[in-house]
Amino acid sequence: MTNTVWQPLESSRWLQGDQSIPCDQSIPCYICKSANSRDAEYCHDCSAPMALARQAAGQHLPPGMIAVVGASGVGKTVYLGLLMDMLSRQTERMQFSARGAFSVNLQQTTISALAQCQFPSKTCNEPDRWNWVYCQVRRNASSPTIELIMPDMAGESILEEMDHRNTYRVIKEVLKKSSAALVLIDAGQLCDGDQGQDYFAMKILSYLSEVEPSSKHGWSERPIALVFTKVDQAEVCRDDPAGFAKTHAALLWQLCQQRFSNYRFFAASVVGACAWHESATQGRRRVPLRVEPRGIIEPFEWLMEQTIGPKKWRPFALSK
């Protein structure tokens, strides 16, 4: 015999609007501000994790946000995961610590995959399966602590949002709240003559300029680090990323000069060399032979200096 139990669906609690939940039993999503029940795991509206709101609750200053964007396969997950690992270990350069168990997932997944000579799995398109990093950063032991959020958004979802607005509301809200952006671009593909990366980066920057076009503190003034990834496949990019951009991503270079006042090009790589591996289940795929990080921390440090100040930590200037 099977016992029957009536369990109300979470969605049924929103049929009468946000007012159906008493104020003392709700909590606003940190990303979109929609009211959610206190036991909700993800926002019912934008699918951002409610753990962000719980971690931010009670903070004297709201957490800042840095957007990490790029095409699918450009290396956002491995870059962000390795950045976390390097910052948490190099305490003499900058002090970094993750807040909340959910913030450790990306670092753990990335380092575990690299240790097995693999790259992390592709990020799923569904926002409730993205990795979100909530962390504390400070220059040294005597400096004030800065709360910071960095999401690992799927490249295919970013493209879908740019082509069809409001498909993923969480992406638009993240970009509106972010004080700075890391835009990742595949240098290897550009060296091979594939201009898809140039066009994708242009679409990202165009989308940013349209998020808050009327704001005097819009993206034309916010710092943007344009990071060429996989430079182990593009030696010419290592020493002169700006010159590489002029030569191999001319459209992107011109767009930056015309619309943005605070940007800089960087070159980064996670591995020293890769090889191709044939698998009966996964097909032909690239695998890392050895991990040799290069230029991972520099873009993040530059963004922090531009946003917070090179000499004195101060709160992030979040857009209103």
40 and 125 share one domain:
no
Same domain, 47 and 101: no
Q: What are phi and psi of 72, to 5 degrees?
A: -65, 130
What's the domain count of the chain? Answer: 2
110 is a domain residue: yes
Report the candidate in 268, 228, 271, 272 with the shortest Cα–Cα distance to residue 246. 228
Q: Which amino acid is at 74?
A: V
Q: Is residue 135 part of a domain?
A: yes
pLDDT for 11-21, tens place per residue? 544 443 444 45
Do 40 and 73 lie in a common domain?
no
Is residue 200 located within the same domain as residue 269? yes
CA distances from 107 to 17, 81, 88, 110, 317 (A): 38, 4, 10, 5, 27
CB 147 within 8 A of CB 136: yes
Position 12 scores a pLDDT of 43
d(CA 26, CA 29): 10
The boundaries of the domain holding residue 42 are 15-54
Looking up tokens 């993205």 gives 130
Structure tokens that stand for 73 in this block? 């396969």
Question: Residue 187's closest CA among 51, 43, 294?
Answer: 294
pLDDT, tens digit, for every residue of 158-211? Answer: 999 999 988 999 999 999 999 999 999 999 999 988 999 999 999 999 999 888
d(CA 35, CA 18): 6
Q: Tell whether 116 and 21 lie within a shared domain.
A: no
Strand order in the sheet with 180-186: 95-98, 131-138, 146-152, 64-70, 180-186, 224-229, 263-267
Q: For residue 126, give the amino acid letter.
A: E
Residue 173 lies in a domain: yes
Measured CA to CA, the distance from residue 303 to residue 179 in angstroms comes to 9
Residue 93 makes CB contacts below 8 A (sequence gap 6+) with: 87, 297, 301
Answer yes or no: is 251 within a domain: yes
The answer on pLDDT for 312 being more than 50 is no
Query: Which tens digits make up the pLDDT trace of 255-299?
Result: 999 999 999 999 999 998 888 888 777 777 788 888 999 999 999
309/232: higher pLDDT: 232
C-alpha pair distances (Å), 309 with each of 99, 134, 306, 319: 23, 21, 6, 17
| Predicted confidence band of residue 143 (pLDDT cuts 50, 70, 90) | confident
Of 54, 81, 103, which residue sits at a domain end? 54
Write the CA distances from 262 to 63, 112, 211, 267, integer angstroms.
22, 36, 17, 17
In a domain, 7, yes or no: no
Tokens (6 digits) for 199: 């066009």
Q: Return the CATH number at 223.
A: 3.40.50.300
How crowded is residue 248: how many other Cβ atoms within 10 Å of its Cβ? 24
Can you tell me the distance from the alpha carbon of 78 to that of 70, in angstroms, rounded to the nearest whole number? 12
Dist CA 161 CA 168 (whole Å):
6
Secondary structure letter of residue 109 according to DSSP = H
Residues 79, 64, 57: CA angle, nearest 5 degrees: 115
Q: Same domain for 20 and 161? A: no
Q: How confident is the model at residue 82 (pLDDT cuts 50, 70, 90)?
A: very high
Tell whether 39 and 141 lie within a shared domain: no
Dihedral, 66, 72, 74, 80 alpha carbons, nearest 10 = 40
**Is residue 315 domain-resident?**
no
Q: How far apart are CA 80 and CA 180, in angstroms?
A: 15
Q: 0.75 cut: is pTM over it?
A: yes
113 and 208 co-located in one domain: yes
**Is 90 found in the same domain as 28?**
no
What would the pLDDT profile of 21-46 be if each residue is shown by its tens digit? Answer: 555 578 999 999 999 998 899 999 99
- pLDDT at position 13, please? 46
Q: Is the predicted pLDDT of residue 91 greater than 50, yes or no?
A: yes
